[in-house]
Amino acid sequence: MTYKKYALVLFSVALAILLIQCSKALDGKVAASLPAAEEAKAAAEKKNHSLVQEGKQIFRFDTFGDEAFWSGVLHLDKAIAGAANGGYGPGVSPNTALAVGLKVDAEALPPEVVAGIQSGAVRLDDPATTLALLKLNAVVGVKATFELSGGLKSVGITCASCHSTVDDSFAPGIGRRLDGWPNRDLNVGTIVSLSDNVQPIADLLHVDEPTLRNVLGLWGPGRYAAVLFVDGKAFRPDGRVAANLIPAAFGLKGLELTTYTGWGDISYWNAFVGVLQMHGKGSFSDPRLNDPVKYPIAVENGFYNVVNNPDLLTSKLPALKAYQHSIAAPSPAPMSFDAGMAGRGKALFLNKAQCAACHAGTLLADDKLHTPEEIGIDDFDAKRSPTGKYRTTPLGGLFTRSRGGYYHDGRFTTLDDVIGHYDRHLQLNLSAAEKRDLKEYLKSL
């Protein structure tokens, strides 16, 4: 071996040893740091998971103490029970409950109840059955408490009443829970009207009882008028009742603006609803509502700064938000639209039809406000919001909102109407075939 070769071999051996040592050292470093990082990640995931689970329970079952309103003021517990069970009136049988859009969680029913419903032994025309279902915590969004003697003590409502439905897997209105899906069958106005004591609401709005009952009767299924209880506007300038469609509470992660008119972020709005609409015992503050011209009802009642002690809501807002943000927009059944047409429709959505200018990104929403002129509609509902504008609705899971119409007040009955509106307003010159393709794409979201 020449000296040169010998040196080369020595050098190679040294290099190899060095490399092995290095990689060992690196291994050691990785081995030491990986578990720590993974542990932290796992811990964060676990924490978020438990926050989501907590939020799910709150979303489904927490009334924030609103029984004081729904039972204490409106006596809805007594209306549900009926005269035969210590209340008043005919009572609310399961059939009546289903007819006003309430849903039954089939997974909360024990096998003997399921068998009884199937055989007819469990009577769905008897309010006593509703009480049994409430005891099982099976009426979605309605939380009941019972006396030790077994009688109904009180009922309250939860977020799920409006923002959950069921998949009808057992029977129409009875099935597995679908949280976040708007309950477009729920007739909130009719349910409130079951009360023998709506006078306090009439007083709040400075109307007489028949006027209030008329308004409640006009809302119709899937609609509710949240802003009415701060500005007192029950009707639109064109004389139609002012009530907005219940929106989805899914597919909102990543959006700062919530509601049709962008009142605020999700926790702002959750507090607004929990305190001012559900009448839960929470705290809520918004100086924008301290405006006697725009929000006379809020000013008269101090709704711009509500403090409850104890506060049964505020500490729950992070979990509630985590749960809502954990619910992705659902996908429609693959057979419910024509995939080929939807593909062409997507290209139109992104380009010629200009939809993606606002319905952008994965959420199909730009998280921005738009003037009424931009989208070609009147400014009534926008002007009732502190923002004065409309927020782009995220379009994911649009199929879950196919009943009740589109846009905040359901003014467009069908997707054809929506597309026709944009075609005219944005002067898109879409052909009939292009409109059909665009519609299939909307159905695929």
Please give the residue ranges that form the binding site for ligand HEC (CB under 6 A).
157, 159, 161-163, 188, 224, 226, 244, 246-247, 249, 252, 258-261, 266, 269-270, 273-274, 278, 320, 324, 353-355, 357-359, 370, 374-375, 377, 390-393, 395, 401, 406-408, 418-419, 422, 438, 442
Nearer to ligand HEC, 113 or 384 (CB): 384
Q: Shortest distance, CB of residue 94 to ligand HEC, whole angstroms?
A: 21
Q: How far is CA 244 from the centre of its chain?
A: 13
User: Distance between CA 224 and CA 159 in Å, rounded?
Assistant: 13
Closest CA to 339 of 443, 266, 428, 427: 443
- Of 113 and 234, the one with the shorter C-beta distance to ligand HEC is 234
Q: Which residue has the tokens 């290095």?
A: 22
User: Cα angle at 370 between 367 and 372, to 5 degrees?
Assistant: 150
In angstroms, give the least distance from the CB of 265 to ligand HEC. 9
Query: CA angle at residue 186 from 261 to 372, to 5 degrees?
Result: 20
Q: State in angstroms the smallest separation of the CB of 228 from ligand HEC.
A: 10
The nearest distance, CB 300 to ligand HEC, in angstroms, is 21
For residue 252, report the phi and psi dihedrals to the nearest 5 degrees. -105, -5
Q: How distant, in Å, are the alpha carbons of 84, 107, 118, 121, 285 from that of 113?
A: 22, 11, 8, 9, 45
The vertex-41 CA angle with 39 and 47, nearest 5°, equals 100
CB-CB neighbours of 395 under 10 Å:
18
Note whether 323 and 55 are within 8 A (CB).
yes
Q: Distances from the Cα of 384 to the Cαs of 160, 226, 374, 405, in angstroms?
A: 26, 11, 18, 21
In the complex, the smallest distance separating the C-beta of residue 230 from ligand HEC, rounded to whole angstroms, is 11
Nearest Cα neighbor of 258 from 311, 321, 318, 312 is 321
Of the candidates 413, 414, 407, the one whose C-alpha atom is nearest the C-alpha of residue 390 is 407
- For ligand HEC, give the closer residue by CB, 69 or 170: 69
Q: How far is the CB of 224 from ligand HEC (least distance, A)?
A: 4
Of 113 and 345, which CB lies nearer to ligand HEC in the complex structure?
A: 345
CB of residue 61 vs ligand HEC: minimum separation in angstroms? Answer: 11
- Toward ligand HEC, which CB reaches closer, 62 or 77? 62
* Closest distance of CB 225 from ligand HEC, Å: 8
> What is the C-alpha separation between 45 and 51, in angstroms, rounded?
10
Q: Tell me how far, at minimum, the Cβ of 193 lies from ligand HEC, in Å.
A: 14
Compare residues 110 and 376 and give the one whose CB is closer to ligand HEC.
Answer: 376
CB-wise, 128 or 375, nearer to ligand HEC?
375
Helices 432-444 and 415-425 pack at an angle, to 10 degrees, of 120
Nearer Cβ to ligand HEC, position 154 or 324?
324
Q: Which is nearer to ligand HEC, 175 or 274 (CB)?
A: 274
Among candidates 93, 92, 137, 129, which has minimal Cα distance to 113?
129
